[in-house]
Amino acid sequence: MWVDGLNMAVEKKLYWEDFVPDVRESMGQVTVELNEVLEFASRYDPQPFHIIEEQAKQSIYGGIIASGWHTCAMVMRLMCDSYLLNSTSLGSPGIEEVKWPQPVYPGDVLTAYRTVVETRVSASKPDRGIVKTFWEVENQNGDLVMSMTGVNFFLRREVDQ
């Protein structure tokens, strides 16, 4: 469950210049709740191993697992709470890669991390920069359950004249 809720009152805004390559930072934790797994999967990914306990027990997973897309949504919330809502984010043109190497089970406690891979000034719009980020998500045992690489646009604090 989300502890802090929306934190819209912020003191500092993160600009493109604040994203430093090769620094790994925690984005927080979330506990995977069974009711949320069932609700999300019933609505968006109704495969039996996400929503039907008896069939899930007979699957290769041995029980109900969260949809990978649900895991992405939980991580998106952690991204928002930990830095995006406190930034000059202009959105993202997309994700380059998403992997789910291990299943996520109800009751798992997920910890998400972000590492800036590269930053560069936009060639076409010099008032903004591009940040390429690698996100990793581990369960309570330290097992990698998701990784993702993508880019975001952020306003620059200092624009070259």
Mean pLDDT across the chain, nearest whole number? 93
pTM: 0.89
**pLDDT at residue 159, as a whole number:** 81
Whether the pLDDT of residue 129 is over 80: the answer is: yes
**pLDDT at residue 161, as a whole number:** 53
Cα 7 to Cα 14: distance, rounded to the nearest angstrom: 15
Cα 152 to Cα 85: distance, rounded to the nearest angstrom: 13
Contacting residues for 31 by C-beta, under 8 A, at least 6 apart: 1, 107, 108, 109, 110
Give me the mean pLDDT over the 146-155 stretch: 97
% of residues, the chain, pLDDT over 90: 90
**pLDDT at residue 117, as a whole number:** 98
Give me the mean pLDDT over the 117-122 stretch: 97
**pLDDT at residue 158, as a whole number:** 81
List pLDDT tens digits, range 30-75: 999 999 999 999 999 999 999 999 999 999 999 999 999 999 999 9
Domains contained in the chain, CATH given: 16-155 (3.10.129.10)
**pLDDT at residue 2, as a whole number:** 41
